[in-house]
Structure 1
Amino acid sequence: MDITSSIQEFSLAPGINERIAACVRELRDRRGLSLEALAEASGVSRSMISLIERGESSPTAVVLERLATGLGVSLATLFEAPAATPHPVSRRPDQVEWRDPASGYLRRNVSPGGFPSPIQIVEVVFPAGARVAYETAARPGITHQQVWVLEGTIKVVLGEERFELGAGDCLAMVLDRPITYHNPAAKPARYCVVIVASPPA
């Protein structure tokens, strides 16, 4: 199946909003944050966080990235399934897929959920013409990220720096500035994101 078919045939996985809801609630409780405190830390309104935690909203990638930053985790963490016993192998049928309702981009958590590793791998299928702008600048700790383009072309703007990447290209960066992804082509792009986050000092 080509990547265009992947986008066309993908439908929102049942229960994904509930999974995100449970993860946000658990992380907020673990950090002892009230709704108001998380709203202040993330820039997401208290009412929106409440809707997300009840599974009554389909938040965009931009909103979820703000929440993840406020909670001190990566965006990929919010899609992880609770695992009683983390396993080092992530089987393809178990890998969580989620589509951004704003841009239509499809992301898949490749790494084993809950396994104690600082590395997370995500695959993204980015529709033709799609654009996603993450406005967050300061993130807890230091987050290293590499983007490896597998098919197509994407443009990345990191702060004031601009990069155009084609198939086979790999961009290394530290996520300490706002970042924008854009697919300028007439066909979808597919790329792999590798994230390594160090905890705050």
Structure 2
Amino acid sequence: MNLDTLLAKRIRSLRKSRGYALETLAELSGVSRSMISLIERAETSATATVLGKLADALGVSLASLFSEETAEKAVSPLARSEAQPVWQDPASGYLRRQLSPPGYGTPIELAEVIFMPGQSVTFDNAMRSIVTHQQIWMLAGEMHITVEGQTWQLQPGDCLAMTLGQQIVFHNPTSSSARYLVALSAQPSATGRP
């Protein structure tokens, strides 16, 4: 199954399990009903920004959108390299490899990101329905990450910890790709939406 098909199935399943009509998810996420419909039919590739808004509105982490539902399958603690889904953001071209075993039930999710030169991605999380702690460990290249107005310049070996909030901007200011590991831990917010 390709990743657009996996995302389509996962978003539709999460929306239906919460009893949301397309209009409801559109209102909660700020993503148009027509765009959600196209994504759910795998007729378009959603950008990282759009996926972030949908994940927040559905009350899940962005990383969980890339995991197959595993209720009918045996869950393994091992995610083989060749089976790890890789997704490319159609807007910035960044590549995201989901490293963690799908459905294993650990509170930590890992992903590897390769961020293209000169590109930026902005995540606006105005209404967080889950509290997500994230750490970025730079493996190669350079990234500028702006968290709620403060910019951090990361070099190889640097690690930035943050709690996701209002706005985060990821920017690679160089002419070379950057590579980093993302570790996430998410939990429902005490004041999360229904």
TM-score w.r.t. length of structure 1: 0.91
How many residue pairs get aligned? The number is 188
Q: Indicate the residue corresponding to 2:77 in structure 1.
A: 88
Contact 1:68 1:75 in 2 (8 A): yes
Q: Distance in 2 between matches of 1:69 and 1:80?
A: 16
Q: Distance in 1 between matches of 2:146 and 2:126?
A: 13
Q: Does 1:156 align with 2:145?
A: yes
SS at match of 1:171: strand
Q: Does 1:57 align with 2:44?
A: yes
1:111 paired residue among 96, 100, 108: 100
- In structure 2, stretches of 5+ residues that fail to align are none
CA shift, 1:162, in A, is 1.0
Q: Does 1:198 align with 2:187?
A: yes
Q: Does 1:135 align with 2:128?
A: no
Which consecutive aligned stretches of 4+ in structure 1 deviate over 6 angstroms post-superposition? none
Contact 2:60 2:130 in 1 (8 A): no
- In structure 1, stretches of 5+ residues that fail to align are 1-13
Deviation string 1:93-134 (CA, Å, 9 cap, x unpaired) is 110001001000000000001111121101000011111011
CA shift, 1:184, in A, is 0.7
Matching of residues 1-201 of structure 1 within 5 Å = 15-83=2-70, 84-201=73-190
Deviation string 1:1-43 (CA, Å, 9 cap, x unpaired) is xxxxxxxxxxxxx621111000001111111111111001100
Q: Distance in 2 between matches of 1:33 and 1:117?
A: 27
Q: Distance in 2 between matches of 1:123 and 1:157?
A: 19
Identity of aligned residues (%): 48
Letter in 1 for 2:2: G
SS at match of 2:134: strand
Contact 2:56 2:130 in 1 (8 A): no
Q: Distance in 2 between matches of 1:89 and 1:185?
A: 35
